[in-house]
A = this chain, B = another copy of it.
Amino acid sequence: MTTVTVWNEYRHEREDDEAREVYPDGIHETIAGFLADEGFDTRTATLDEPEHGLTESVLDDTDVLTWWGHEAHDEVEDEVVERVHERVLSGMGLLVLHSGHFSKIFKRLMGTTCDLKWRDEGEKERLWLVEPGHPIAEGVEESIEVPEAEMYGERFDVPAPDTLVFNSWFEGGEVFRSGCCYRRGAGRVFYFRPGHETYPIYHQPEIQKVLANAVSWASPVGGTVPSTGHVPEPPERD
C-alpha cells in the first residue's frame, strides 16, 4: 500500500478568514482526505511541527511526499530540505503543488530560479492534456476547467520537463506548462500548478483525480540504486 505524507505550510488557513472558509482544517487535510478515499495510506505534516513533521522516521515510511507552501518558504530549515532531497534522489516521489514552485526543495531539485509571472484575480484556467496515455492522465478528460484561479504565466524558469502532461490557458492572455514530470536520481517529481489557498480547487474531482494518479506514478519502484565511487576491478577482468 502506497504511503503518502501530505505536507502543508498551514499558515494561511489559520490566519486568513478567506482561506479558512475554503479549507477549514487546512489544505493538507483536504488533500489527505481525498487521497485516503482513493486507497492511499496518508498522513500529514506541517511547518510548525518539530522538524516540520518530516523526521527521518516519517520519511522512512513515506513513498510519496506532497508539498504545499507559499508565504513561509524561508522558514523551512535547510537540514530538512537536504533530508527530503536525499530521499527523492533515492526514490521517494515528490508532488510539488502550486506556490510550491518557490519552495526550497523544488528550487534545489531544479537548479533554476523557478520564477514565473502571476496575477491573482480569479481568472478562469483551462488545463489541456498534451500527453494522452500518460498514467497521470488516466481517467481524465481532454481538458479541465478551473473556474477561478490565480494566474501563473510563462516563462516558467525550470528545466524543460522530461514529460509535459498539461498545458494551461488563462483568461487574461497567458499560458503555462502546468503539469511537468521530472526524473531526478531514482525519484520522480511532478509539478502541478492548480491549487490556491482561497479557491476551492482541491475540492474539484478532476483535480483530485490528477493528484491521485500522480501519487501512483511517483511511487518508488523496487529497483536497484546503482553504486557509485571507486571500482578497483574492471568488470572485464572477471
Contact = CB atoms under 8 A, between A and B. Distances in A.
Nearest to A154: B128
A220 interface: yes
Contacts of A110: 111
Number of copies of this kind of chain in the complex: 4
Interface in A203-238: 220-232, 234-237
Contact of A126 (B162, B184, B235): B235
Interface residues on chain A, size class: 35 or more
Contact of A155 (B128, B175, B177): B128
A117 B227 contact: yes
Contacts of A124: 236
Given A154-B167, A229-B118, A224 B159 contact: no
Interface of A: 89, 91, 108-113, 115-119, 121, 123-124, 126, 128-135, 137-143, 145, 151, 153-157, 159-160, 162-164, 167-175, 177, 182-188, 220-232, 234-237
